[in-house]
A and B are shown apart, each in its own frame.
Chain A
């Protein structure tokens, strides 16, 4: 039943967020229609565009039209491009999605082995060195790593050409090579955070009674770690990783600027400066959808892994 409750809460959250986001874009100062048509537009032109965009209907009707359209995949018309928002987003979303998923995979690939390894170092002289390095890595903003990467791997080592993005249809290999460095830039600080959490989570579990009784029954340390401790220690990490994913998506917005990747991050910033609100609203809503779904999945996953939360 708790999963059912979570599902109800999921839809409630989605409704609340979409409503709040929609309203926020209705009360903004500055009329989007006037901004598009310019100050010299005639009252007729303004009235026509208003009714074209549905701005003359009551607020709640407009919310309903917008959200029911959103569910069907109709995101409205972009003010800047004068094209359906969904047409423009169709090419951009896969790029940002690829970047985010790659970054997420890198976080997992880097942090799980290292987190486990670091937890074994407790008491050795390497411990404080590793912990300090990890803390420093956590404090480096992804965009700074991104700039350093373009310098080291792009300009100096020529492993990729900064600014020369290659689309997946042109050359899949170069596409993924190009995305690797921005993804790594996003992943490194997040991986460091995950390592820290995983390490402390393992060390906390190691002090529990079941580990002591496991040891007294003659289990080896490794067997205890991989069969018993890790299962419990991963629970907080799973929740954290779900939250990390939303951070990764946000991080990709900034990283796309540095590596000149034509994803939704660049589009979002462009639309913000163009006051293209239907576009901004759609992008925000799509990211919110991903974030909220990820959190929901993490909750469900935690309950599957940990029966104690299933009360």
Chain B
């Protein structure tokens, strides 16, 4: 029975749409996102400014694009950092087991049960705000979830016959781990990665919203949202544009994750 995987289809369409839009935003925006224009403060959406202008007369669409790029960039670096470290930790603990495995997994439990926004808040307060520190703080926090998934996959796969055969043939452990086992764990990891993006976007937006994430002059969706609160009454499109972009990002990655999880 072939049932269409609508989550995957819509997830890919939505994510691709947002990512392409933002990729364009890296190279070209309709206006300079930092160009102020006092004559055109807080204008509603119009053919010239499709999402209106903010309190400095800056084009909101251009700023949403730039802010989205920054959010996406942070999310990608964060997830890659967490994924690579998590795979290494998970692979070793899962493959070898033992006392180290026990300790690392207890530590994982603690970090996992803790709200990531709160921990990243503390991390950033220790390291100081800024793009780089947000990536480090969030990346560190994402290691446990990836490590746990990788570990459970490794524990499952390492007892399969083909791995035992490889071991009998004298294939080195590292090769077994990363050439023989890892490719079979990719499916599960993909879905987890998509959730990771989701959490990263939300965490980055929250941190910037609180004013301790991305610092000015870098545009950021979270901070735009925080700034737009003041003009909620006179310029609701400001809030809706910044919030809408965050929702699109999260929705796309969320569907993608569900869709990837439904494969098999």
Interface residues of A (CB under 8 A from B): 9, 12-13, 16-17, 20, 24-25, 28-29, 128, 135-136, 138-141, 143-144, 147-148, 150-151, 155, 243, 246-247, 249-251, 253-254, 257-258, 268-269, 272, 280, 284, 287-288, 291-292, 295
List B contacts of A17 (CB < 8 A): 110
**Secondary structure class of chain A's binding surface, majority of residues:** helix
| A291 and B113 contact, Cβ closer than 8 Å, known pairs A139-B254, A141-B243, A141-B250 | yes
Q: Mark B192-225, 1 if CB is under 8 A from A, else 0.
A: 0000000000100110011010000000000001
A residues in contact with B225, CB < 8 Å: 143-144, 147
With both beta carbons as reference points, the residue of chain A lying nearest to B112 in the complex is identified as A243
- B251 to A246, Cβ gap below 8 A? no
Q: Which residues of B contact A (CB under 8 A)?
A: 6, 106-107, 109-110, 113-118, 121-122, 125-126, 202, 205-206, 209-210, 212, 225, 228-229, 232-233, 236, 239, 243, 246-247, 250-251, 254-255, 258
| Contact A143 B126, beta carbon cutoff 8 Å | no
Main secondary structure of the interface of B (DSSP, over half): helix
Assess whether B115 is in contact with A249, with CB atoms less than 8 Å apart: yes
- Across the interface, which residues of B come within 8 angstroms of A12, CB to CB? 106
27 A–B pairs (Cβ distance < 8 Å), ordered by A:
A135-B258, A136-B247, A139-B251, A141-B205, A141-B243, A141-B246, A143-B209, A144-B243, A147-B229, A147-B239, A147-B243, A155-B233, A243-B113, A249-B115, A249-B118, A250-B116, A250-B118, A251-B115, A251-B117, A253-B117, A254-B210, A257-B209, A258-B229, A268-B121, A269-B212, A287-B118, A291-B115
How far does the Cβ of A23 sit from chain B's closest Cβ, in whole Å?
11
B243 touches A150 (CB 8 A): no
Asked if B232 and A250 make an inter-chain contact with CB atoms under 8 angstroms apart, the answer reads no
Docked Cα-Cα span, A287 to B110, in Å, equals 13
Partner of A253, one of B109, B118, B205, B254: B118
Known: A135-B251, A147-B232, A272-B125. 13 other contacts (CB 8 A): A29-B126, A139-B250, A144-B225, A147-B229, A151-B233, A151-B236, A243-B113, A249-B115, A249-B118, A251-B115, A257-B209, A268-B121, A291-B114
Q: Which B residues are CB-close (under 8 A) to A143?
A: 205-206, 209, 225
A250→B207 CA distance, assembly (Å): 12
Q: Complex: how many Å from CA A62 to CA B254?
A: 45
How far apart are the CA atoms of A259 and B79 in the complex, in Å? 31
Q: How close is A128's CB to chain B, nearest CB, in angstroms? A: 8
Residue of B nearest to A245 (CB): B115
Q: In the bound complex, do residue B247 and residue A24 qualify as a contact, i.e. CB atoms below 8 Å apart?
A: no
Q: How far is the CA of A126 from the CA of B5 in the complex (A)?
A: 18
State the Cβ distance, B111 to closest chain A Cβ, in Å.
9
With both beta carbons as reference points, the residue of chain A lying nearest to B126 in the complex is identified as: A28
Q: How far is the CA of A139 from the CA of B255 in the complex (A)?
A: 10
CB distance A135 to B206 under 8 Å? no
Q: Is the CB of A140 within 8 A of B113?
A: no
Query: Cα distance A268–B124 when bound, in Å?
Result: 13
CA distance A24 to B210 in the complex (A): 22
Residues of B within 8 A of A16 (CB): 106-107, 110
CB-defined contacts of B118 to chain A, threshold 8 Å = 249-250, 253, 284, 287
Nearest CB in chain B: distance from A78 CB, A? 15
Residues of A within 8 A of B121 (CB): 253, 268-269, 272
- Contact A288 B114, CB 8 Å, known A135-B255, A144-B247: yes
Q: Which residues of the partner chain B approach A268 to less than 8 Å between Cβ atoms?
A: 121
